[in-house]
Amino acid sequence: MVSKKTILTPLLAAGALLASSSVFAAGPTAETLAGTCSACHGYQGNSVGIMPSIAGSTAEYFTDTMKAFKSGERKATVMGRVAKGYSDEDIGKMAGYFSQQKPVGMKQSFDRTDAALGKKLHDEYCEKCHEDGGRNNEEGPVLSGQSKLYLTYSMEDFKMSHREGPKKMSKKVKSMVEKHGKGGVDAVLNYYASQQ
């Protein structure tokens, strides 16, 4: 006579195998995928180095940026190769994950006098698109609390046409530089760096 244990053991094993197969078929979770970004962009997307923080990025901005890296539309030394390793579904999962993370301003030095001027210039030239002092933006990155060095290099990329920004941004930056000189841009970057 066959015991219940003899019948149930293979059935349970088969059930466990099917369950694990469905887990693998679902692919990696958003947290798992996002974890691969932490070496450069910090825990939960909050960088502590020169790489930008990506916590709090809108899902649309994150997705557009990753696809631009993947296609080569946006120049990069590393991210182009990294982005090619992810499917559109993977990118969508990561975009959702990082959009839900709370941005934490980087601890960094800044010039208080420049930051005070930078706040005024931000309000005049940048606030319309980079709302709430650069904390909110439907179309672009979170600027407040980003690495000042990263933002400096990004502005140089725009200036040298290594990176294309929105036309309205180019007009606003040009207008600010004409009226306040290059120091105006530095002041705004100090303002973003001051938000910690």
Task: Residue 79: give the domain boundaries.
Answer: 28-98
pLDDT at 134: 92
- CA 15 – CA 6 distance, rounded (Å): 15
pTM over the 0.75 mark: yes
Q: Is residue 10 part of a domain?
A: no
| Same domain (yes/no): 147, 91 | no
Question: Is 155 within any annotated ligand binding site?
Answer: no
Contact at 8 Å (CB) between 55 and 104?
yes
Q: Is residue 87 part of a domain?
A: yes
pLDDT at 8: 52
pLDDT at 27: 87
Question: Is 51 within any annotated ligand binding site?
Answer: no
Question: Is 41 within any annotated ligand binding site?
Answer: yes
pLDDT at 44: 96
Question: Is 37 within any annotated ligand binding site?
Answer: yes
| Same domain (yes/no): 32, 93 | yes
pLDDT at 160: 87
Q: What is the DSSP letter of 73?
A: S
Strand locations in 94-169, DSSP E? none
pLDDT at 26: 73
Residue with tokens 């559109």: 88
- CA 162 – CA 111 distance, rounded (Å): 28
SS3 content of the chain, % helix, strand, coil (to 5): 65, 0, 35
Question: Is 122 within any annotated ligand binding site?
Answer: no
| Dihedral-angle region of residue 105 (phi above 0 means left; psi in -120 to 50 means alpha; beta otherwise) | beta
Question: Is 169 within any annotated ligand binding site?
Answer: yes
Contact at 8 Å (CB) between 108 and 148?
yes
Q: What is the pLDDT of residues 8-62, one digit of tens each?
A: 555 455 555 445 555 556 789 999 999 999 999 999 999 999 999 999 999 999 9
pLDDT at 2: 55
The count of domains in the chain is 2
Among 48, 65, 98, residue at a domain's last position: 98
**114: CATH:** 1.10.760.10
Residues of the chain with pLDDT under 50: 11, 17-18
For 37, 38, 67, 75, 99, the CA distances from 59, given in Å and listed in that order, are 15, 17, 12, 21, 6
- CA 145 – CA 43 distance, rounded (Å): 15
Among 98, 118, 134, residue at a domain's last position: 98
Q: Which of 70, 27, 36 is nearest to 54 (CA)?
A: 36
